[in-house]
Structure 1
Amino acid sequence: MEAKAITRHVRISPRKCRVVVDLIRGKSVVAANEILTFTNRGASEVVQKTLNSAVANAENLHHVRPESLVVKACYVDEGPTMKRIRPRAKGSASPIRKRTSHITIIVAPREEA
Structure 2
Amino acid sequence: MAKKYSRSQYKKERNAQKDTRPSATLSNARVSVTKACFVLDAIRGKSVQEALGILLYNPRYASSLIEKLLKSAIANAENNNGMNPENLYVAECYANKGPTMKRVKPRAQGRAYRIEHRMSHITVVLDER
Q: TM-score range by the shorter chain?
A: over 0.9
Runs (4 or more) in structure 1 with deviation over 2 Å come to none
Aligned sequence identity (%): 46
Q: Note the C-alpha offset of 1:76.
A: 0.6
Of structures 1 and 2, the one scoring higher in RCO (CA 8 A, sep 6+) is: 1
Taking the TM superposition and a 5 Å limit, the aligned residue runs for 1:80-95 are 80-95=99-114
The alignment's TM-score, normalised by the length of structure 2, stands at: 0.83
User: Within 1, Cα distance between the matches of 2:31 and 2:88?
Assistant: 27
2:51 corresponds to? 32
**Structure 1 runs not aligned, ≥5 long:** none
What is the aligned length? 110
**Structure 2 runs not aligned, ≥5 long:** 1-19
The alignment's TM-score, normalised by the length of structure 1, stands at: 0.95
User: Within 2, Cα distance between the matches of 1:10 and 1:72?
Assistant: 21
User: Within 1, Cα distance between the matches of 2:34 and 2:98?
Assistant: 12
Larger Rg belongs to = 2
User: Within 2, Cα distance between the matches of 1:53 and 1:85?
Assistant: 36
Q: Note the C-alpha offset of 1:5.
A: 0.3
Which residue type is aligned with residue 85 of structure 2? P
Which residue type is aligned with residue 52 of structure 1? K
